[in-house]
Structure 1
Amino acid sequence: MDLVEKRLSVTACNVFNDLRRNRQLCDVVLDVDGREFHAHKNILSACSPYFRALFTNGMTESDMSRINIPNVSYKIMNYLIEFAYTREITLTVENVEGIFAAGDQFLIHGIVQRCKDFLLSHICPENCFGIRNFARSYFCRELEEIAMHYILVHFEEIVTADDADEFLNLSLADLIDLICRDNLNVKMEEYVFEAVLRWIKYEEVERRQSMPEILMHIRLGMTNTDYFMNNVKANEYVRENDLTKPIIIQTLNYTYNFDTTSATSGPSQVISRPRLPYKLLYAIGGWSGGSPTNTVECYDTRADRWSIIDTENSSPRAYMGIAVVSHKLYAMGGFDSNQYFNSVRSFDPVTKRWDEVSPMHSRRCYVSVAVLDGCIYAMGGFDGHTRLRTVERYDPKTNQWRFVTSMNHHRSDASASQLDGRVYICGGFNGNECLNSAEYFDPTDNTWNDLPRMTSRRSGVGVVAYHDCLYAVGGFNGLTRLNTLEKYDPHANNWVLCPSMYIHRSNFGVTVLDDMIFVIGGFNGVTTIFNVECYDGDNDEWYDACDMNVFRSALNIGVIAGLPNVTEYVWPRDQALPPPVIPNNQENIQQAARALEENLNRVDEAELDIGSIDGDDGSEDDEDDEDEEVPVPDRPPNHRRPPSGPSSGRDQSMHISL
């Protein structure tokens, strides 16, 4: 029972319910759907303000011993009366909507709340729009907002689901309300356009004329240039509707920098406006310019930009461990060029403050960190005298550290991650040599177990769990910095080499974001670097991403999802993202310019007012005007703009299986 509703003891509830069932001391009979319920006015009044008003308002019903209750079924009323006496109710997918409606009608807050909790516990891509619409119809703002948040976060899953009927039956207004939002969570804007195509095709005759209005709200300047030319501009719904031409012109101007004002001078106000990222990547501390730094940078994956963050109570530190639990970053151990630390600090991204929490038992520089079941594991490291094999576990709920079983091997400068309920650690340095050994901790029996050795010795390595495997990248083998990548498959129990990074590096930050492995900064054997690259396991390729602002190694990384103040950490959305830098290929630029001129000519021929596209006066397109697939250059390779050409594993059409 809820604490608020537990007004009577369980014993008292049972007594009153027995009296009701035996029709003893009852003072009212409710006629419902031709059948009757014997009950007690005081019990019903305690549960429902509706019944309290009915029995005490001084009107005719107040003195009646038999009252007719309309607009509710006998079965549903039985649930309500049982709840009034026992504070218990059995909800199913079949009855929850009817019970919710009746609970709302009779103002039974406890039932309404339990129905909301039930609906949210069963929300999924197939029913989320239905739950949102249901909540909207009963003016249940809280449920509606939570359902809408689910839709925005899981948009890609929803629109690609086999059973997407609820999405496909959205009205035009609801579709636009969805795709126009900055916080729509899509890794690539191409997914939005493909979702729109699926929606149009569902009722093609009625919906194809809506493309101009919809296209206004798609961030076309954020799409891959090949995809835009071959899949957006050449699409029949776009090509055959003159009202889309001003938007196409605006996008061409922006993408190829033909018009420096193109981002804001055109019918669409969002051509160059990236969406807000659902997850933020934080790069913290490290070694820069010959000393530790306290710089915190945040990476906006949608804009592909880094921002330096001002924080309170921060102090320079390198070679520390970073873990994320419940929207907080925890920084453990490390080195400030003078001392080795056992202290632990937590960073709250909402307040932007660092605060001390309980320290570890041991000083740990070059510490390895992983999170499992809400607890933080700190493994190995260097205490200023020796390499450690001890392991400590921190519970943020109790703010306490305690030792668990030690590793099989002494190691510092290793890297760790959790996979399938186990903590894995790989590589490192034992004081004499760089290691290629790996082991895992099983919390069910508190034991460490050795794995097959990696193909290379790796100190200063990066390890992440990705696509159900463990990936180890980069590091130092005792002779040189590495750029190689290998993965461990727990089912095959072996290590397999994967494509190598572009840059050799060790002591870098590594994490998984947007279903890719990001490698950030580090030391290349000569100097600290600020370069970022990412590995796409689906295409088995590496891409460049935007460089950090600060050159540094010995940094660490944390990723936080769903922050309420995400706008404080990202590229300002009121500023247009700079146009892309197009490779110096005069022939391709001329082809793009010809495409722009063709579209401008069509607009002139149609005598269309470019400043207004929401009218109903669009003329028919020239039937024999067919857009050719123009091979166009792409932006510099990065994770949003993969390199085009035969060497790329990505299908440049970006067709999504819907």
Structure 2
Amino acid sequence: MDVDPTDSNNEDNCTTNTQRLIAENGGRCMSTQAMQSLYDLRQNNLLCDAIIRLHDGGVFHIHRAILSACSTYFRALFTTTLHSREKTDVLLPGVSSRTMNLLLEYAYLRSLEVTRENVCQLLITADYLSILGVLELCCDYLRENLAAENCIGVMKFAREHFCRGLEADAHRFVMRHFVQVAQRSDEVLNLPIEELRTLVGADELNVKSEEVVWELVLRWINHKPDARKAHIVELMKNIRLGLLDTQFFLENVKDHPYVTGNEACRPIIIETLKFLYDLEMITQKDGEIPTPEIARPRVPHEILFAIGGWSGGSPTNYMETYDTRADRWVKVEEVDQTGPRAYHGTAVVGFNIYVIGGFDGVDYFNSCRCFNAVTKVWREVAPMNARRCYVSVAVLNDMVYAMGGYDGYHRQNTAERYNYKRNQWSYIAPMFFQRSDASATTLNDKIYITGGFNGQECMSSAEVYDPETNQWTIITPMRSRRSGVSCISYHNCVYVIGGFNGISRMCSGEKYNPETDTWSPIPDMYNPRSNFAIEVIDDMIFAIGGFNGVTTIYRVECYDERTNEWYEATDMNIFRSALSACVIMGLPNVYDYIHKHRERLMEEKRQKLLALEVQRTQQQLMQRQQTNINNSVMLPALINQNHQNSQHQ
């Protein structure tokens, strides 16, 4: 019996039929009452038509049809015509009574408790007996419990038992969480040289700094130094030494005893030094400069999307992505053909980007568009209940929240959330204050919204929403009024940056500690800005574009809490404000969104530096020309003044 998900009586049906129905893999159903009866018959050795014997002395009376239904091994064994008579007494080698009990429980009841202690033996036995349902359950268990400490072991175990999907997932986990694996895993120390070389040389290795790779290589060698130190050469060839900090390379790599004690390392050291020297003298080189293998950036695991905004006096649907490893912005061709929008919000659920509300210069939107970053298809989803330009958006537990905004007439205090499974928006409790041009973020399963404009003044107030109670709570106000502000959760605090205080655009920022309910300042950005995008990627806060009080900008900068400093990053391809940004992790088609010509990064940098030199030269020439003009105007006046002075004397 199938249950209609649209039936209004489903809840009652599910309650009354709990004893009768149990969902099996694939959405099919079976009678639990009948299967429980068969299970009871088996335990009492009633109507059984075969016996399974184990080497440890276990004897199990079973129904051949039941085992044949879930195992191709038993189906072949019990239905083959190769035997002179039916098989009714079977000896199974290599299976324990404890494991057999669990498998029989699954065969009859589709119930199985997988634990850390039994998962490996269950998987091995299920593979041997071709019980695919148990095999899948075991793979799911191992997949859900992957950790830095066990992922390499799971990957090797899956490979040995031809669980290709689990092996691929474990490999992706190793790549994505490589920093934790390198620092915490003991399994990595037992990898053979061939596997370690492949691991540290992978383009998909998720490392912000190659120092982590170097430290892992040393850790692996130090585990068995006498037998492994000779492998330093082939491992160094797979580290992107050219991406190391120059000082780190000179102090920690170049003169390391493993390196100086192996003559075969000299060419690698010379090549790296030559590259680092060329990097400083890049503008003095003739001809195109390729990017050597030792400096090719790896592939990022997070992709930042910047969507829409206001550019050149009108809204745009321009979309670009940021490749953190190559420090380049990449134009995305698959823009939303329904048109541009600005002052909107974006939210990510899975591989879907939801573009919410906004303004196109004429209309204030309640519409929502969805872009799937894998299929690259745009589609319309359910509209919000209210039009919301200058909207604040956050995601919590795969629910999209839209708060405040401006509908063309009023600043709003209403808020609503979107359930993508139902494609439905529903109102939540209203905020205490009307807010447009505010900013929201998620921290510790709560939503924080900060600042904004209420129609009369820029605001310093902030409040927090708890979905468990459907209540808003006012928190300590910020130190500054901020409209057109951006806020983001970062290292267990809410960071609020930039904005307009009613007088000027700001470069200041502050952070909120929810444990103490207090705000404290952070260092200023290089550029004042409001209505800009903000995201955390590579464990840094990126501030993107915006309006500086005079003009729209394409400047990008990033903040690292560890150094408590801002750094300049590569500018966007176009200048824009009122844009929105979001980050997607683990895209299977990540290569579609990164810099395609990684071998040309050095040449691109050289051309950019040469262009800057030409620009500086032209500015200096113009300054000299202006000085000459000023001198030609002032000189006759000075001569005349001197002549008059001499006559007077």
TM interval, shorter chain, is 0.7 to 0.9
Taking the aligned partners of 1:263 and 1:42, their CA distance within structure 2 comes to 70
- Contact kept in structure 1, 2:443 and 2:492, CA below 8 Å: yes
Residue number in structure 2 paired with 1:296: 319
Residue number in structure 2 paired with 1:17: 39
Q: 1:499-538 CA deviation, whole Å, 9 max, x = no partner? A: 1111111111111111111101111111111111111112
Taking the aligned partners of 1:252 and 1:141, their CA distance within structure 2 comes to 42
Q: Select 2:274's aligned residue among 241, 253, 262.
A: 253
- CA distance 1:481–1:176, shift in 2 (3 Å): same
* 1:235 has 2:259 as partner: no
Taking only the aligned residue pairs, the percentage that are identical comes to 48
Residue number in structure 1 paired with 2:157: 134
Residue number in structure 2 paired with 1:52: 75
* 1:111 has 2:110 as partner: no
Q: Select 1:510's aligned residue among 531, 534, 546.
A: 534
Taking the aligned partners of 1:443 and 1:123, their CA distance within structure 2 comes to 29
Residue number in structure 1 paired with 2:14: none
Residue number in structure 2 paired with 1:420: 444
Residue number in structure 1 paired with 2:505: 481
* 1:32 has 2:70 as partner: no
SS at match of 1:256: helix
Quick check: 151-160 or 255-264, which moved more?
A: 255-264
* 1:286 has 2:309 as partner: yes
Q: 1:532-559 CA deviation, whole Å, 9 max, x = no partner? A: 1111112211111111111111111111
1:581, distance to aligned residue in structure 2 (A): 6.7
SS at match of 1:271: helix
- Contact kept in structure 2, 1:254 and 1:262, CA below 8 Å: no
- CA distance 1:523–1:86, shift in 2 (3 Å): same
- Contact kept in structure 1, 2:49 and 2:62, CA below 8 Å: yes
- CA distance 1:573–1:140, shift in 2 (3 Å): farther
1:147, distance to aligned residue in structure 2 (A): 1.0
Taking the aligned partners of 2:359 and 2:198, their CA distance within structure 1 comes to 50
Write the mapping of 1:575-614 to structure 2, written as runs, cut at 5 A: 575-578=599-602
- CA distance 1:67–1:214, shift in 2 (3 Å): same
Residue number in structure 2 paired with 1:356: 380
SS at match of 2:601: coil
* 1:100 has 2:135 as partner: no
Q: Select 1:205's aligned residue among 201, 215, 226.
A: 226
Q: Which has the higher contact order (CA 8 A, sep 6+)?
A: 1
Residue number in structure 2 paired with 1:77: 100
1:489, distance to aligned residue in structure 2 (A): 0.5
Residue number in structure 2 paired with 1:122: 145
1:92, distance to aligned residue in structure 2 (A): 1.8
Write the mapping of 1:241-390 to structure 2, written as runs, cut at 5 A: 241-257=262-278, 270-314=293-337, 315-390=339-414
2:298 aligned partner, one-letter code: R
- Contact kept in structure 1, 2:290 and 2:602, CA below 8 Å: no
Residue number in structure 1 paired with 2:10: none
The CA RMSD measured in Å over matched residues stands at: 2.1
1:297 aligned partner, one-letter code: E
1:476, distance to aligned residue in structure 2 (A): 0.9
Q: 1:129-159 CA deviation, whole Å, 9 max, x = no partner? A: 1111111111111111111111111111111
Write the mapping of 1:404-483 to structure 2, written as runs, cut at 5 A: 404-483=428-507
Taking the aligned partners of 1:240 and 1:8, their CA distance within structure 2 comes to 69
1:450, distance to aligned residue in structure 2 (A): 1.1
SS at match of 1:285: strand
Q: Select 2:426's aligned residue among 381, 394, 402.
A: 402
Taking the aligned partners of 2:381 and 2:452, their CA distance within structure 1 comes to 27
- CA distance 1:496–1:243, shift in 2 (3 Å): same
Taking the aligned partners of 1:323 and 1:528, their CA distance within structure 2 comes to 24
- Contact kept in structure 2, 1:29 and 1:38, CA below 8 Å: yes
1:175, distance to aligned residue in structure 2 (A): 0.7
Q: 1:101-154 CA deviation, whole Å, 9 max, x = no partner? A: 111111111111111112112221111111111111111111111111111111
Residue number in structure 2 paired with 1:143: 166
Quick check: 501-510 or 40-49, which moved more?
A: 40-49
SS at match of 1:26: coil
Q: Select 1:214's aligned residue among 211, 226, 235.
A: 235
SS at match of 1:55: helix
SS at match of 2:229: helix
1:61, distance to aligned residue in structure 2 (A): 7.5
Taking the aligned partners of 1:379 and 1:549, their CA distance within structure 2 comes to 30
SS at match of 2:295: coil
- CA distance 1:557–1:205, shift in 2 (3 Å): same
Taking the aligned partners of 1:90 and 1:294, their CA distance within structure 2 comes to 51
1:13 aligned partner, one-letter code: M
Taking the aligned partners of 1:98 and 1:83, their CA distance within structure 2 comes to 15
SS at match of 1:52: helix
Quick check: 220-229 or 513-522, which moved more?
A: 220-229
2:458 aligned partner, one-letter code: C
1:346, distance to aligned residue in structure 2 (A): 1.1
Task: Return the index of the structure with the highest Cα Rg.
Answer: 2
1:565, distance to aligned residue in structure 2 (A): 0.9
Moved over 4 A (4+): 4-8, 258-265, 579-582
1:461, distance to aligned residue in structure 2 (A): 0.8
Taking the aligned partners of 1:397 and 1:25, their CA distance within structure 2 comes to 46
Quick check: 249-258 or 364-373, which moved more?
A: 249-258
1:28 aligned partner, one-letter code: A
Taking the aligned partners of 1:335 and 1:5, their CA distance within structure 2 comes to 43
Taking the aligned partners of 2:479 and 2:62, their CA distance within structure 1 comes to 76
Taking the aligned partners of 2:598 and 2:328, their CA distance within structure 1 comes to 15
Taking the aligned partners of 1:243 and 1:508, their CA distance within structure 2 comes to 51
- CA distance 1:64–1:287, shift in 2 (3 Å): closer
- CA distance 1:153–1:105, shift in 2 (3 Å): same
- CA distance 1:479–1:348, shift in 2 (3 Å): same
- Contact kept in structure 2, 1:251 and 1:262, CA below 8 Å: no
Residue-pair matches, total: 577
Q: Select 1:556's aligned residue among 577, 580, 588.
A: 580
2:45 aligned partner, one-letter code: R
Taking the aligned partners of 1:40 and 1:408, their CA distance within structure 2 comes to 66
Q: Which structure 1 residue ranges, 5 or more long, are not aligned?
A: 583-658
TM-score normalised over the length of structure 2 = 0.85
- Contact kept in structure 1, 2:347 and 2:355, CA below 8 Å: yes
- CA distance 1:541–1:7, shift in 2 (3 Å): closer
- Contact kept in structure 2, 1:312 and 1:353, CA below 8 Å: no
Q: 1:62-115 CA deviation, whole Å, 9 max, x = no partner? A: 435433222222322232233222222222211211111111111111111111
Q: 1:152-197 CA deviation, whole Å, 9 max, x = no partner? A: 1111111112xx2101111111111212221111122221111111
Q: 1:564-595 CA deviation, whole Å, 9 max, x = no partner? A: 1110111115524216979xxxxxxxxxxxxx
* 1:165 has 2:174 as partner: no
2:366 aligned partner, one-letter code: N
Taking the aligned partners of 2:581 and 2:370, their CA distance within structure 1 comes to 14
Q: 1:333-384 CA deviation, whole Å, 9 max, x = no partner? A: 2122222222111112223333221112222211111111211111111222
- Contact kept in structure 2, 1:358 and 1:400, CA below 8 Å: yes
Q: 1:464-494 CA deviation, whole Å, 9 max, x = no partner? A: 1111111111111111111111011111111
TM-score normalised over the length of structure 1 = 0.84
- Contact kept in structure 1, 2:317 and 2:336, CA below 8 Å: no
- Contact kept in structure 1, 2:357 and 2:364, CA below 8 Å: yes
